[in-house]
Amino acid sequence: MNAAILTRPLAALGRPVLAGLGALGRVVLYTLAVVSHLVRPPFYFREFARALLSIGWLSLPVVGLTAVFTGGALALQIYAGGSRFSAESVVPAIVAIGMVRELGPVLGALMVAARVASSIAAEIGTMKVTEQIDALVTLSTDPLKYLATPRVLAATLSLPVLVAVGDAIGIMGGWLVGTSRLGFNSSVYLTNTADFLEPWDVTSGLLKGAVFGFIIALMGCYHGMNSGRGAQGVGKATKQAVVMASVLILASNYLLTEIFFSA
């Protein structure tokens, strides 16, 4: 009796730990399965093109709006902080570096995660509820190959393009605020931006975008295929997809920054 009382707290602690490790293992196995399907035929080009349009092209407005306001706000904040040390001239350089290294990839990916991960999870979850995935199996079509692989590949390829467009628009937003509100000369602002921005700054942000795109589509597909039955199950899967994609984007951003820019 006393032993049961003593071990009960340990059991209560162990259950969520084991559940978490089990969930991590399932995600890792799912990821390996998706990656293996990326290089094996058949290839569903129609599904890939449809996913590329939905994930890439239709995400441009939200990424562009996010970037332009972020660039403008960043310019205002840096100018306000730099004016305390008579360092207002660093605004163009820091806006450009901040956008291409961090804010462009991260904020763009978070906005795409909110839009795309939820959409993928809801679509695939609804297909599961209505037994369309079972119908694919009946037709000898691998659901993982048909549903997940085109979306993961499309997101991995389109996110770097979205990041590049967002970077350019964000820098333009900083330029607009700098020249119209902060008194910068346009040519001087653009010259400082070009002088301080290095190729690796841009490349690192694009590589982050590819990783973030892979995470977004992977989480949407995984939670959609593992959603519960009914509307409540689909809603829960949608929420989990967005939350997990956002958390993994922030965590992987730190790891990639440590790898790219650690001394």
Q: Are 237 and 223 in contact (CB under 8 A)?
A: yes
- Identify whether 219 is part of a domain: yes
* Average pLDDT, integer, range 38-57: 89
2 or 79: which leads in pLDDT? 79
- Identify whether 31 is part of a domain: no
In whole angstroms, give the CA distance from residue 211 to residue 50.
21
- Identify whether 189 is part of a domain: yes
- Identify whether 89 is part of a domain: yes
Give the model confidence (pLDDT) of 120-173 as tens digits: 999 999 988 888 888 888 888 888 888 899 999 999 999 999 999 999 999 999
Q: Are 99 and 200 in contact (CB under 8 A)?
A: no
- Identify whether 51 is part of a domain: yes
**Domain residue limits at 118:** 44-261
pTM over 0.85: yes
- Identify whether 222 is part of a domain: yes
pLDDT category of residue 2 using cuts at 50, 70 and 90: low
Spatial CB neighbours of 198, under 8 Å, sequence gap ≥ 6 = none
In whole angstroms, give the CA distance from residue 134 to residue 120.
18
User: What interhelical angle do 149-180 and 60-82 show, nearest 10?
Assistant: 40
Average pLDDT value over all residues in the chain: 88
Q: Does the pLDDT of residue 36 top 70, yes or no?
A: yes
Percent of the chain with pLDDT over 90: 50
**Joined tokens for residue 58:** 């239709």
Give the model confidence (pLDDT) of 166-212 as tens digits: 999 999 999 999 898 888 888 888 888 888 888 999 999 999 999 99
What pLDDT score does 3 carry? 62
- Identify whether 169 is part of a domain: yes
pLDDT category of residue 25 using cuts at 50, 70 and 90: confident
- Identify whether 174 is part of a domain: yes
- Structural domains in the chain (count): 1
In whole angstroms, give the CA distance from residue 220 to residue 242.
8
